[in-house]
């Protein structure tokens, strides 16, 4: 199962890369947490990061009932931080996960927060 996801991740990454004008949103989900970061692949630097463990949104996440709601909050928080950093358009890298559930919730939260995909 894990190897098939990694193969898909490599296949997706061949087609997607982030630039300075349009960085890449990379997501990772574990069994309990979700992580997202905006990366400029040209310079190899992480510009903005957010996760369900962030202290900034701890109160919001405590009120969430499901992992999908937590993911949406993380997406909104990522978008807020990105807009403060001057990033408006991004490329979404699902990292081999299906665009469904928590991964979709991160993307929808980021769109609601103001990011353009």
Tell me the mean pLDDT in the region 57-80: 94
Whether the pLDDT of residue 102 is over 70: the answer is yes
Q: How far is CA 29 from the centre of its chain?
A: 10
pLDDT of residue 83: 96
Residue 16's pLDDT is: 85
Burial class (CB in 10 A: 0-12, 13-18, 19+), 76: buried
Task: Kindly state the helix (H) or strand (E) to which residue 39 belongs, with its residue range.
Answer: strand 34-40
Paired with 89 in beta bridges are 116
Q: Cβ(89)–Cβ(22) under 8 Å?
A: yes
Separation between Cα atoms, residue 117 and residue 102, nearest integer Å: 17
In this prediction, residue 107 carries a pLDDT of 96
Q: pLDDT > 90: what percent of the chain?
A: 70
* Confidence band of 87 (pLDDT split at 50, 70, 90): very high
Q: Tokens 């310079």 sit at which residue? A: 43
Instruction: Please give the pLDDT value at position 1.
Output: 63
Q: Can you give the pLDDT at residue 115?
A: 93
Q: What is the pLDDT of residue 19?
A: 82
What mean pLDDT do residues 12-32 have? 90
3-state secondary structure of 29: strand
At the topology level, CATH places domain 2-42+49-113 in Nucleotidyltransferase; domain 5 (3.30.420)
């Amino acid at each position: 199962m894990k190897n098939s996801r990694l193969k898909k991740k490599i296949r997706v990454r061949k087609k997607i890369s982030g630039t300075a004008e349009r960085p890449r949103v990379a997501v990772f989900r574990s069994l309990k947490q979700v992580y997202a970061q905006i990366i400029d692949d040209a310079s190899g630097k992480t510009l903005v990061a957010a996760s369900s463990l962030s202290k900034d949104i701890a109160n919001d996440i405590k009120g969430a009932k499901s992992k999908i709601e937590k993911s949406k909050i993380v997406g909104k928080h990522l978008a807020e931080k990105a807009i403060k950093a001057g990033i408006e358009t991004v490329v979404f890298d699902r990292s081999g996960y299906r665009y469904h559930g928590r991964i979709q919730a991160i993307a929808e939260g980021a769109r609601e927060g103001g990011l353009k995909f």
